[in-house]
Every structure is written in C-alpha cells, then in structure tokens.
C-alpha cells in the first residue's frame, strides 16, 4: 500500500472543484451529504504519484465542469484507467456504477482510500483490478444508481506489470 499525505491546499483545490461542478446541470443533483471532495483528493494525489512512476499518456484533472463526460481518469501505457475512491477510512468496498463499467469501459480500476483518522490526513493507493474481474462481483443499489460491490481486499498490488 502506498501512503501520501494530504495538505490543506489539496483539500481546498478539491472543494473548489466540487463547488464549480455543482453549478452545472450534471452536478446539480449530486453530492448531497457526501464529502465528495475526498474522492477528488484521492484522484489528484494518486494521479501525481502514478506520473512519477509510470509513462503517463493522460494525467487526471479532477472534475470537469464543462459538461463533457471524459473517457477515463488517466491513460497509463495506453491503458484507460479509472480511479475509484473509498472516501472514509472504514469503507471496505469500491462501488463503480454498473452503467460506467459496462457502457464506458476502462481497462484498469485503481482503488484509493481516504484516511481521515490520521493527522495530517492521507490517501492510500490500495491496488488495482481489471474491468473483466469487476463484472463478477455482486450488484448492489443503495440510494443512487446500481453498482458493483468490489471488496478492497480483492485489489492487486500496483506493479510495473499492472499496465502491460
């Protein structure tokens, strides 16, 4: 597991992205009573770490408030990568939406967890899983769209071969 400290600047950047996103149609219904900014922090810090370790074709940029849906979070070694975040330390699952996994497939999903129980807070890059494996997990639905329930314990460690 890779641990990266979160700064106040990281938090502020993420919160500003959420505020900008709420102003567009796609963001008007989301993020009620959810600390979604933590997912942005996870994405941005994980992306930066990957950029230092791998050949990056496309770097993550966080939320897009242009209204254009992006193809993926990152491209690493020509592989489409999606960063999925567990935004509380006690969360045990990634929950990629069925629609996104089936209709907007990425090659690799990276699991990152936000740990608010330490000071300074940190993110933990937990590992990866391929799309083909996600399709085998149970489908659940809580409040929003149905999703695959992927246990964090099923993620494989990040290795140079992850993106081959």
Q: What is the DSSP string of 97-133?
A: BHHHHHHS--SEEEEEEEE-SSSS-EEEEEEEEEHHH
> Could you give the percent of the chain with pLDDT greater than 70?
86
Domain extent for 24? 2-159
In a domain, 131, yes or no: yes
Instruction: Judge whether 164 lies within some domain.
Output: no
Give me the number of domains the chain comprises: 1
Dist. CA 118–CA 95, nearest whole Å: 24
Looking at residue 19, what is its pLDDT?
A: 80
What is the predicted pLDDT for the residue at 143?
Answer: 75
Assigned token pair, 152: 């964090």
| The predicted structure's pLDDT at residue 67 | 47
**Stretch 116-137: mean pLDDT, rounded?**
97
Residue 29 lies in a domain: yes
Residue 31 belongs to some domain of the structure: yes
Q: Is the pLDDT of residue 84 over 60?
A: yes
List 55's β-bridge partners, or say none: none
pLDDT in tens, 40-73: 999 999 999 999 999 898 777 665 554 445 678 8
Q: Is the peptide bond before 120 cis (omega within 30 degrees of 0)?
A: yes
pLDDT band at 120 (very low <50, low <70, confident <90, very high): very high
CATH of the domain at 39: 3.40.600
């Amino acid at each position: 597991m890779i641990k990266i400290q979160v700064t106040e600047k990281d938090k502020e950047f993420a919160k500003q992205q959420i505020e900008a996103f709420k102003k567009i149609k796609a963001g008007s219904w989301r993020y009620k009573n959810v600390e979604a900014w933590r997912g942005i922090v996870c994405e941005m810090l994980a992306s930066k770490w990957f950029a230092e370790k791998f050949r990056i074709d496309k770097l993550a940029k966080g939320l897009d408030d242009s209204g254009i849906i992006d193809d993926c979070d990152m491209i690493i070694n020509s592989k489409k990568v999606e960063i999925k975040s567990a935004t509380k330390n006690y969360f045990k699952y990634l929950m990629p939406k069925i629609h996104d996994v089936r209709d907007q497939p990425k090659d690799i999903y990276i699991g990152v967890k936000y740990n608010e129980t330490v000071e300074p807070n940190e993110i933990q890059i937990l590992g990866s899983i391929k799309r083909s494996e996600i399709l085998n997990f149970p489908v659940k639905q809580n409040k929003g769209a149905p999703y695959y329930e992927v246990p964090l314990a099923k993620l494989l460690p990040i290795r140079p071969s992850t993106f081959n």
